[in-house]
Amino acid sequence: MDLPGLSSAGQSSVTNNTVDLRPETEWRFEVGLDSIVTLKVLQGNAEIFGTELAVGPTYSFTATKLSMFTWRGCRFEWSGDPLAEYISEESVMSSYANLHFALEKLRMQAAEKDAHYKKEVMKEVDIGQFGSAEEGDGPRVLIIGSRSSGKTTLAKILTAYAVKMGRSPMVVSLDPKEGMLSLPGTISAASFSTMMDVEEEESWGSSATTGPMHVPPKNPTVYYFGSDSPTDNIRFYKSLVSRLSIAISSRLEMDHRARVSGCIIDAAGIIDQKVGYDLIDSIVSDLAVDVIVTIGNERLYNDLLKRYQPRKQITVVKVQRSGGVVEHDATYLRSIQRRMIKEYFYGPPKTALSAFTITADISAFTVYKRSEQSHLVSSSALPIGSDETTALLSLVTKVEVSPALQNAILAVLYASAKDTEDDIAEASVMGFVNILDIDETKKKVKVLMPIQARLPSQVLLMGSYHYLE
């Protein structure tokens, strides 16, 4: 009898939604916002963006665009009403796996150099053969490509494969519209040592704020940018990336396993030559990137090769764009963001939580927003001899608590009203609240919070996101 997918002749086959998938092929499917598709692996091995599926359990998917890939062939069954589904024989997974193995080699070299790692983590390994260097940083990989080129997908695949090898890579999401382990509008970093939740395409799993889950929660460091695109306020964005890189460095200093595993950085898809290349430059230097991976864009690859190859420590490589990558239009993006916000307060459908409302005096709220970009002129852009005070304007500005804040999502910062504006602009995020109602006559504000707690005395930072249930 042939193994599923390993039949000697022909292509993958489908009978009544039972599919025999041949080795190194993938089943791509899209599920609408209001429908569900379930799938069950019956035999063989299968993975979704690097994370292996178990044989037997039923997985269910909604509002998602995914691909299930198999290395050695599998048989599975699915049901539901997908918007699209097809088998592709043209997978790019082997080139992504090759990239993973090249990174793994760098991690092994880093482990050899890390004295602590040798002593504590690799006790059982014969360390006599290793060099004598005290330090070892794993590869810091920046993934760059145009919008919808598959950057996040590649970041997930590399992360899942690294975790499978026992690594704990620091995953850094610099795309505010996606909000990894947090809400839209954020940039964040978290060390991954456990598997991701394959049923949640847009999320990377759960964080400590999203309540009990079947996949262990991660503990991200989060900064609030407040809108979808870094170009909305480049100076504020760059300042947050710098802060995040400092936070990452101090986390890596304490966590040798993560340090040896390196970083996987998912950039926002801004690659136009002026702003995009300048942004790439500052990310490369802030996060000490030493491997740049470009996806499916020859010009970008060649430009970056010329720019970084002379610096011997930076390697630029290119990988193909998968034909399965689907572009997200603005409406789809909004609905995904809406779902992320809803799940933050009420939990995912599987583990529905109850959100809490509290009412507090207006005077208890200290709200800031980021300053307008036009006010934040860089001193280098000012004519020589001109007044440089504008260049020193704070990155954040205080906001009156007024009905304009109705339905706003506000980030609760690790900063108090007594802190300076500079401290506030550099503060990371503790969680989020949603303003439900502002009664100006009674001077009261009603807020939605994900957990039962008093209104935090921290500063709240406003962005461009609003939510109304």
Ligand X SMILES: Nc1ncnc2c1ncn2[C@@H]1O[C@H](COP(=O)(O)OP(=O)(O)OP(=O)(O)O)[C@@H](O)[C@H]1O
Site residues (vs ligand X, CB under 6 A): 26, 28, 65-67, 145, 147-153, 175, 201, 269, 322, 324-326, 328
36 within 8 A of 83, measured Cβ to Cβ: no
397 is in an annotated binding site: no
Give the span between the Cα atoms of 334 and 468, in whole angstroms: 13
Q: How far is the CB of 337 from ligand X (least distance, A)?
A: 12
Residue 153 annotated in ligand binding: yes
DSSP assignment letter at 203? S
94 known member of a binding site: no
Residue 63 Cβ vs ligand X, minimum distance, rounded to whole Å: 10
| Smaller CB separation from ligand X, 142 or 449 | 142
Rank residues 156 and 218 by Cβ distance to ligand X and give the closer one: 156
Report residue 234 as tokens: 């480049």
Residue 149: Cβ within 10 Å count:
23
State how far the Cα of 350 lies from the Cα of 430, in Å rounded to an integer: 24
**152 vs 221, beta carbon nearer ligand X:** 152
For ligand X, the closer of residues 137 and 266 by Cβ is: 266
User: What minimum distance in Å lies between the beta carbon of 151 and ligand X?
Assistant: 4
- Token pair for residue 201? 């395409």
Residue 148 annotated in ligand binding: yes
Return the structure tokens found at 424: 């506030």
Chain centre distance of CA 28: 22
The answer to whether the annotation marks 380 as part of a ligand binding site is no
119 annotated as belonging to a binding site for a ligand: no
DSSP state of 388: G
> For residue 276, what are its two tokens?
């995009």
For ligand X, the closer CB: 114 or 228: 228
Residue 394 counted as an annotated binding residue: no
- We find the least distance from the C-beta atom of residue 153 to ligand X, in angstroms, to be 3
Nearest alpha-carbon partner for 319 in 175, 150, 161: 150
> Residue of minimal CB distance from ligand X?
324
Tell me the torsion sign for CA atoms 405, 175, 311, 303.
Answer: negative
Strands 84-88 and 25-31: antiparallel
Residues shown for the chain: 469
Residue 391 is classified by DSSP as G
Rounded to the nearest whole angstrom, what is the least distance from the CB of residue 67 to ligand X in the complex? 3
Q: Minimum CB separation from ligand X for residue 392, in Å?
A: 34
Name the residue nearer to ligand X (CB basis): 25 or 152. 152
Binding-site positions for ATP: 26, 65, 148-153
Binding-site positions: 26, 65, 148-153
